[in-house]
Structures are given as structure tokens and as C-alpha cells.
């Protein structure tokens, strides 16, 4: 049955007797299964961004049509993730609390 679904809508599968989008895809309109989208990539639905990057959203340039995945404003972007930056020894810092949260006993100098 998966082949029947996939012939009509790419990236879909037969799940509990119904054609639905696969695990890493989200439905769009009635005949599309869209893949997840990373930070900075184009998106058509909020779920596309969340599939690839938790705490992200689709900032629409054309409402409900297309946009770009971005981190929520209260969460900084760390490379391709949304959330506090992970500090390592030798990382740039501005306060000791930033370092000690990830490396016990570390200070910012």
C-alpha cells in the first residue's frame, strides 16, 4: 500500500490505512509532503522548521506562502541550532557564568 500512496503524493506512506506524510515530512496543502528546513532555508509551513531545528519558526515574507526558518528571538542561534551557545575551553565569552554552565569551574578571562 505504501507504493500506492507514494505514487499519488511523494514521500507519503500508508499509515493505519491512510496515506500520510512520512516521519521527516509535513503535509502541505492536499498533495505535498514537505521535508524539514534548517535555519536560513526556505519554508512554507511552521512545521518544516520545527522538524529540523527545535525552537525555530518560519518567518513569512509572503504570509502563509513562503518564508525563511529562523530562531525565536528569545533564543540565540548557535550555528544551525536555536538555543544557548555551548561553551568549550578557548571559546569567546563575556561572563564567567557562560563558561561555568557548560564547564564546571571555568571562568571567563
**Cell numbers found for residue 83:** 538555543
What φ, ψ does residue 6 adopt, rounded to 5°? -65, -25
In tens, the pLDDT along 53-84 reads 888 999 999 887 899 999 887 666 666 678 76
Question: CB-side exposure of 97: number of CA atoms within 13 Å?
Answer: 1
pLDDT at 78: 63
pTM of the model: 0.67
- What is the reported pLDDT for 54? 84
Of 61, 11, 15, 7, residue with least CA distance to 32: 11
Amino acid at each position: 500500500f505504501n507504493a500506492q500512496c507514494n505514487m499519488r503524493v511523494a514521500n507519503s506512506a500508508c499509515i493505519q490505512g491512510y496515506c500520510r506524510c512520512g516521519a521527516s515530512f509535513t503535509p502541505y496543502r492536499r498533495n505535498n509532503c514537505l521535508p524539514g528546513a534548517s535555519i536560513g532555508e526556505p519554508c512554507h509551513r511552521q512545521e518544516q522548521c520545527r522538524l529540523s531545528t527545535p525552537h525555530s519558526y518560519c518567518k513569512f515574507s509572503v504570509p502563509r506562502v513562503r518564508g525563511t526558518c529562523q530562531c525565536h528571538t528569545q533564543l540565540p542561534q548557535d550555528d544551525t541550532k536555536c538555543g544557548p551557545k555551548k561553551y568549550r575551553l578557548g571559546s569567546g565569552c563575556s561572563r564567567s557564568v557562560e563558561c561555568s554552565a557548560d564547564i564546571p569551574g571555568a571562568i571567563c578571562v
